[in-house]
Amino acid sequence: MKTSDVQTIGSYIGGKWVVPNKENLIEVKNPADGSTLAYTPRGDKAEIDAAISAAKTAFASKEWKGMEPYTRGKILFQAAGIIRDNKEELAKLETLNVGKPLSQAETDVEIAARYFEYYAGVADKIMGETIPIGPGVIDYVVREPIGIVGHIIPWNYPIQIAARSIAVSLATGNAAVLKPAEDTPLSTLKLVEVLEALPLPKGIINVVTGYGYEAGSALSSHPDVNHITFTGSVETGKRVMEAAAQNIVPVTLELGGKSPNIVFSDCNEENALEWVLRSIVQNAGQTCSAGSRLVIEKSYKDQFVKKLTAAMEKLSIGPGIENHDLGPVLSQKQFERISEFLQKAKDDGITVAAGGERAQVENCENGYYLKPTVFDDVPADHLLAQEEIFGPVLTVTTFETEEEAISIANGTPYGLVAGVWTENAGRAHRIANELQCGQVFINHYGAGGGIAMPFGGYKKSGFGREKGLEALKNYTQVKNVSLKY
Ligand code: NAD
């Protein structure tokens, strides 16, 4: 994008685009070449206060409170259609801003549309129950909206994550205030722009751009927020939880992972190779559920890793907009963070089976490209096999017994996702039973967004669940009504 094309985009508060103070802007960059894409406001407490006030008014309005659930559902179906109508533009923006290959961004936009469809169907099926207390008493339980939901969105899958929580939030009758990541706000802003056509009260969806320590912190500590959904790092997750604790507000924390692909020699090799590769190069490894550890049977390791690295070396690397297999990582900050891990591997004499360095891409000298990397024979307790690297970096650790495989797989502070690759169904289920994580995939991985599957962590990967019907619990509160007659 040329400098002359660079525009300043406002925050979206109470149905209005709030013109930013020109002195107080955040530069939004294209990680493919370091160029400037746009400027957005550096929102702070004042903008968050205004957005929450607009959300409260909209939430309390007759128009919203009195709307039949099936009408909310119809509006959400309409939203899915609008997203698909604007797929090309949304995907292009996502690619330019996040760096991911265009085909992955198109998938993300389709998944965003599907979240709206999924929760559209649910809007008029959020049912309660009756409880048999005894003669002369009618007791029933209803699920009511929780109120104002604060959505703190990470930079790696902005449109998917914004859509998954806005859709469920609206289906359950709440009002939303979103704070996108400062690096990647563009698709979220475009999403609310295209959704302006929906017959929703102004203020039901609001977006305030800004830094985490200013706008993010103002949102998570606001006394009028009734639920916070956060996706991001463990450290920020703790801060959000502490802020929410001051107001006794529930949070859903979707934090990182160090997810293993556990591969046995009796796997379907072609299938396992394809998904082990995809799960670490997708979005240049910047995926909370990335398959960042290969935990593999010792006798089978050399054969598998040789084929894996051969496939990796064939991948094309370049700007997402040209739809290469692998785009850049997000920013100088992420690039430096990953480079520190690469240096640590060198210092500790870890075997580099593939990559391990910067990739040079013609005409993109200021882009943040890394070769997909495999570190072989990494001890299970080494930093590389313990910490979330958030780049296209895979560690390989071997096991000899099923028990050892489980112990290695469970041996990190995280517990988000695991893949199990074996044709032995009994073994697959034994292992699934022992794994300490929120999702287990047997002979596949990721399930194309897994819209209907509850998603969230064990241990430091967080708590609460997004996606599926399980997410409804976060966005509703339970009321028991008892009548004596
Ligand atoms: P982060 O946790 O700092 O940012 C996530 C979101 O939280 C952003 O919108 C940010 O502005 C906001 N935020 C930051 N500080 C805040 C605060 N004090 N109060 C409220 N909101 C705040 O993540 P990051 O710095 O962008 O990335 C660091 C690491 O986090 C990554 O390298 C990766 O390991 C991890 N991460 C994980 C996920 C995931 O999907 N689980 C997503 C992004 C980042």
- CATH code for the domain in which residue 274 is found: 3.40.309.10
Atom 13 (ligand 1) nearest CA: 212
249 lines ligand 1 (CB under 6 A): no
43 lines ligand 1 (CB under 6 A): no
What are the backbone dihedrals phi and psi of residue 369, each rounded to the nearest 5 degrees, phi first? -100, 140
220 with 285, same domain: the answer is: no
Mean pLDDT of residues grouped by 10 in the chain (485 residues)?
A: 67 92 90 95 96 98 98 98 98 98 98 98 97 98 98 98 98 98 98 98 98 98 98 98 98 97 98 98 96 98 98 97 97 97 97 97 93 98 98 98 98 98 98 98 90 97 97 97 97
Q: Is residue 33 part of a domain?
A: yes
215 with 271, same domain: the answer is: no
Atom 8 (ligand 1) nearest CA: 181
**CA pair distance 204, 200, nearest whole angstrom:** 7
149 with 278, same domain: the answer is: no
- In a mutational test of the pocket of ligand 1, which residue from 177, 217, 219, 233 has the highest number of ligand atoms less than 8 Å from its CB? 233
**Among the listed residues 380, 387, 313, 375, the one whose alpha carbon sits nearest the alpha carbon of residue 347:** 375
154 C-alpha to ligand 1 centroid (Å)? 6
273 with 293, same domain: the answer is: yes
249 with 371, same domain: the answer is: no
Q: In 10 A of CB 212, how many CB atoms? A: 18
Residue 267 annotated in active site = no
Q: In this structure, what CATH number is given to the domain that contains residue 168?
A: 3.40.605.10
249 with 264, same domain: the answer is: no
Which of 267, 288, 364, 437 is catalytic? The answer is 288
| SS3 call for 265 | coil
CA angle 49, 50, 54 (to 5 degrees): 115
217 lines ligand 1 (CB under 6 A): yes
139 with 198, same domain: the answer is: yes
Which ligand 1 atom sits closest to the C-alpha of 182? 11
239 with 364, same domain: the answer is: no
Please give the C-alpha separations between residue 180 and each of 81, 189, 223, 253, 293, in angstroms, as whole numbers.
23, 9, 20, 15, 29
198 with 265, same domain: the answer is: no
Counted domains in the chain: 2
328 with 180, same domain: the answer is: no
Q: In 10 A of CB 199, how many CB atoms? A: 10
181 lines ligand 1 (CB under 6 A): yes
Query: Can you point out the beta strands (E) in 73-232?
Result: 129-130, 137-145, 148-152, 175-179, 205-207, 227-231
236 lines ligand 1 (CB under 6 A): yes
Q: Is residue 250 part of a domain?
A: yes
Which of 47, 106, 182, 254 is catalytic? The answer is 254
At residue 5, the pLDDT reads 59
Q: Is residue 456 part of a domain?
A: no
Which ligand 1 atom sits closest to the C-alpha of 239? 18
Question: Which residues are bridge partners to 338 per DSSP?
Answer: none
Q: In 10 A of CB 449, how many CB atoms? A: 19
275 with 362, same domain: the answer is: yes
**Among the listed residues 48, 62, 60, the one whose alpha carbon sits nearest the alpha carbon of residue 223:** 48
Atom 38 (ligand 1) nearest CA: 232
Buried b (16+ CB within 10 A) or exposed e, 337-366: ebbebbeebeeeebebbbbbeebebeebee
- Residue 266 sits in which domain range? 260-451
Tokens of 133: 């207390």
Q: Is residue 383 part of a domain?
A: yes
Q: Is residue 442 part of a domain?
A: yes
Residue 254 annotated in active site = yes
289 lines ligand 1 (CB under 6 A): no
213 lines ligand 1 (CB under 6 A): yes
Laid out side by side, the sheet with 25-29 consists of 7-8, 36-41, 25-29
Burial (CB count <10 Å: 0-12, 13-18, 19+), residue 400: exposed
244 with 372, same domain: the answer is: no
335 lines ligand 1 (CB under 6 A): no
Helix axes 87-98, 158-171, angle to 10 degrees: 130
**Count of CA atoms in the C-beta half-sphere (13 A) of 73:** 12
Q: Is residue 281 part of a domain?
A: yes
Q: Is residue 84 part of a domain?
A: yes
